[in-house]
Amino acid sequence: MGAELTGDAFAGWMHRALGEVEAALGRWVPADAPAGLGEAMRYAVLDGGKRVRPLLVLAAAEAVAGARAAALRAAVAVELIHAYSLVHDDMPCMDNDVLRRGKPTVHVRFGQAQAMLAGDAMQALAFEVLTPDDDPALPPPLQARLCGLLARAAGHAGMAGGQAIDLAHVGHALDEGALREMHRRKTGALLQASVLMGAACGAVDAAAWQALAAYGEAIGLAFQVVDDVLDATQPSQALGKTAGKDADAHKPTYVTVLGLAAARERAQALHAEALAALGRSGLAHTGRLHDLAGLIVARHH
């Protein structure tokens, strides 16, 4: 996302966090799943991606002094759900894309059936990671809480529902309110859940929970607005995915609905909303969340 956008302490924190997430994904995504499935799963999720969602989980857990081992499982689980959604989204029956994270998409590399199965298996693996038999950092009530937050963000009320709205609106106009509602589900719900799953790993009162939920909602939407701006202004090589696809497919975006300048202003306004929510949280250690919000709106890919 650009280390030049961050201070040294934050860059160091991010480097360590990314290393932990990468190592945990490497441990928990099985190479030996049958008939090449493991290879397809590992191709889909290892060695690529900005890991924004895992970083949000770990930053939120730090804000509430949450257990690191639990937060790491939550971080891996949310990345598995995100990576599965990208695999399915890229398939010919959905967005039909050939480039993702700078590599050929999973169905291009392994075939459509294997890509579908890899996505299915990653979705299930996310919940396996959240429900270990033998990890004292994750007592059963916390396991249930994390599973509930993730399932609700990934399912009909969240990402899958948002994707259904998206597919139903190819070639149709959407006003800003409807666009916001679609993205609240499709992209925002999982980003917000990342924050809340991190928060669930520690002790947090109702006011702080509400404030973190508002932070997650604002940053989730800001992420999408910035995504639309980058999609309209950056080449595919910089993004590691095919640029301009939504506009080419006549899908409404923040840039087509608001215009480029207003979309940039909207991202700034949402950033300010996110920081105001952190200020209301009453939590002392929100520095990482603060810096991540800045990184999300200032990112170049």
Residue 247, SS3? helix
* Partner residues linked to 99 by β-bridges: 104
In the complex, least distance from residue 176 CB atom to ligand GRG, rounded to whole angstroms: 17
- Measured from the CB atom, is 49 or 66 closer to ligand GRG? 49
Name the one range near ligand GRG by CB under 6 A: 6-14, 48-56, 69-77, 202-210.
Answer: 48-56
Q: Which residue is nearest to ligand GRG (CB)?
A: 49
163 in contact with ligand GRG (CB under 6 A): yes
| Per-residue burial over 145-157, b = 16 or more CB atoms within 10 Å of its CB, e = otherwise | bbbebbbebbeee
In the complex, least distance from residue 135 CB atom to ligand GRG, rounded to whole angstroms: 26
Q: Output phi, psi for 100, to 5 deg.
A: -150, 135
- Measured from the CB atom, is 80 or 196 closer to ligand GRG? 80
Give the span between the Cα atoms of 255 and 62, in whole angstroms.
35
Q: Which residue has the tokens 């998409």?
A: 105
Name the one range near ligand GRG by CB under 6 A: 46-54, 127-135, 138-146, 288-296.
Answer: 46-54
- Measured from the CB atom, is 145 or 183 closer to ligand GRG? 183
The amino acid present at 131, given as its one-letter code, is: T
Q: What is the DSSP letter of 5?
A: G
In the complex, least distance from residue 160 CB atom to ligand GRG, rounded to whole angstroms: 4
266 in contact with ligand GRG (CB under 6 A): no
Q: Residue 259: exposed, middle, or buried by beta-carbon count in 10 A (0-12, 13-18, 19+)?
A: exposed
- Measured from the CB atom, is 49 or 216 closer to ligand GRG? 49
159 in contact with ligand GRG (CB under 6 A): yes
Looking at residues 72 to 101 of the shown chain, list those that interact with ligand GRG (rule: CB under 6 A).
82, 85-86, 88-89, 101
Q: Could you tell me which of 301, 173, 150, 170 has the C-alpha nearest to residue 238? A: 301
Q: Could you tell me which of 17, 58, 18 has the C-alpha nearest to residue 195? A: 58
The amino acid present at 28, given as its one-letter code, is: W
In the complex, least distance from residue 76 CB atom to ligand GRG, rounded to whole angstroms: 13
Q: Which residue has the tokens 């290393």?
A: 19
Contact characters 118-157, ligand GRG, x per CB under 6 A = ----------------------------------------
Give the span between the Cα atoms of 150 and 169, in whole angstroms.
26
Query: Where does this chain bind ligand GRG (CB under 6 A)?
Result: 49-50, 52, 82, 85-86, 88-89, 101, 159-160, 163, 186-187, 224, 227
